Structure 1
Amino acid sequence: MRCDDASAMWDQARRALEICNACQFCDGYCALFGALKARRDLSLVDLAFLSNLCHNCRACHHACQYAPPHAFQLNLPRSLSRVRHGTYQDHAWPRPLGRLFQKNERFVLAVTLIAVAACLALGMLWVPREALLGVGAEPKAFYRVVPWGVIAGSAGVTAGWSLLAIGMAVRSYWRSLGPVPGGARWLPALRDALRDAVTLRNLGGGAGCSDRDERLSRARRRFHHAMAYGVAACFAATAVATVFDHALGWAAPYPLLSAPVLLGTLGGVGILVGTAGLAWLKRGADPEPLAPELAGADLALLAQLFLVSASGLALLAVRETAAMGPLLLVHLGSVLGFFATLPYGKFLHGPFRVAALLRAALERHAADR
């Protein structure tokens, strides 16, 4: 982003928030407005903090008396979306990789497709045909196609790098917010922040989001929950399968009614429902409060998660056929692509938002004392 574009972006967000602070009609809509009231002179640090408190439910936009066609042309969700996306780029680790947030959908989809194509190509070159297209669901059938060490090693290295990069990015963002207010109580604040994150309390408050127009709906929160808890269930399935394999000596694939398969199926269905539902809502959303240049990054993450889930469920359905080997390679490639792009895509909004919620909770508790 050019310097003049960045400066205009920050100035636009500051102007919008100053008008909101004077009006305060939306006070109580979400954590953003409570934190805003404690600030009069908005610095760049304040803007970076407040933008990540915004959950982009758009309710404030449809309630705003200064939104277009008013002469003020106030569009708070759009302004904060741009600032929020800028914080991901500013705090990316390593710093030069922050450029990947520009035209982000191209990067995310390209890495995913390359990972899938590479796994398929390497499988066809190195895996014997009888193993790749073999039929059977006996123990260790997966490992005849791809050895366990290759699966665990490639996924472990990719996920480990991503977790390190995410941790460093969040650390940089947290430190940029300055010292924690004196008198803040960490444990109650952490409890409040995690509760807000898990329940998505700020995603439209109790009434819901303005998904398509000024009417409120809980659909976005429900689809978001389905997707998020689906991802959690899939990670739980992987953890249980690891215990089965290493502690109990039970090799995959597992029976349909086993804990790893049940958790994975539940999680996969949740991801499919959540991502498809969120994409459907985005397609019919009111474009006015959205930043059109950021829509691709949102949809790229949804498409990526949909591919991971769909390939996993398809693998479960055909694991006793000759399609098992190729689909295992497709699923492995999609998972590796997902892991590789975690620190440099829309997924980063999750940890950044939790950090902002924690900071807001610390400020509230310090003010109470």
Structure 2
Amino acid sequence: MLHTISLDKFLRWTVITLILAAVFFTLKALSEVLLPFFIAWLLAYLLYPVVKFIQYKMHVTSRAISIILTFILIIAIIAGIVFIIVPPFISEMEKLEVLANKYIQSNTHSNNIAAMLKQWFTTHRFEINHFLKSRDFTDAIKTAMPQVFALLGQTANVVFSVIASFITLLYMFFILLDYESLGENFFKMIPRKWRSFSRVLASDVEKALNSYIRGQGMVALCMAIMFCIGFSIIDFPMAIGLGILIGILDLVPYLHALALIPTAILALMKAADTGHNFWMIFGGALLVFIIVQIITDMIITPKIMGKAMGLNPAMLLLSLSIWGALLGFIGLIIALPLTTIIIAYWKRYVTKDEEVIKNK
């Protein structure tokens, strides 16, 4: 039996589709401006239970003081993690400096790097003077100037990032200050006939986000433990600190790949310290990365995230790829909860899946 679609229904769905498309492209165009607010909202959502615990369980009368105490607690935790990771890394850098000075002393007539550079410039001053007057140097300057301006632009971006971080903290403070009233006032802005659906949708988003945060937290914890064990087995420098760092990075899916940079630096330091081949040491660390990634993707993520979000591994990877390509960093954060909600609502309202309707 064919179902006819009335002109009114067709126009209504067309308008809704156009509005959703306009909202999506507006959000994408304003993503850089909205990113601090979105991050602040997400952090406020994560910290709200702590603020509520401090205010009501510890009988702190002022919400502002509860927020400040929460910030102090988070800063203390971050400082503890930094204390675990940074001092060993500085120690490794000091070892590298000592090894570099020993190498210079054994292969040159200088006592340290500064003396070696001074001796080199003194020995080659005529060649350097000739090169500075040559056309090759002029061409090199012309080529390098755009790179210098690009570097200055990157420096400006760092300054803007610091300002954005400060703005994010302000956003987060004021969101936490009026957390309950903000949510209630938001629903009052929605037309009455849509309020009931909006509350159900918000509840579903909260449930999906809670499931995602708990699941991803468990995945990150498992990954941190496996990396700590793997690096300890191969006697890699800073095994525990590096494992913890990778676990923290993995709170955002696949961001732990950035840890390959400090891993390469630590492998270089160990090679200089022990005299072993750098590629053998770095290869061992890469092998740990590969083994842990395979275990995570094949066993841990499907078991934990698949169960928490109701998605199979292929859908997990596909949703991360699509939303990451569309919305970048924000997309990686919202990919799994948003995909879960879209699939659930599609089954509920489009395909009329009875099982989903009953669960709802």
When normalised by structure 2's length, the TM-score is 0.26
TM-score normalized by structure 1?
0.26
If asked which structure has higher relative contact order (CA below 8 Å, sep 6+), I would say 1
Q: Which has the higher helix share?
A: 2
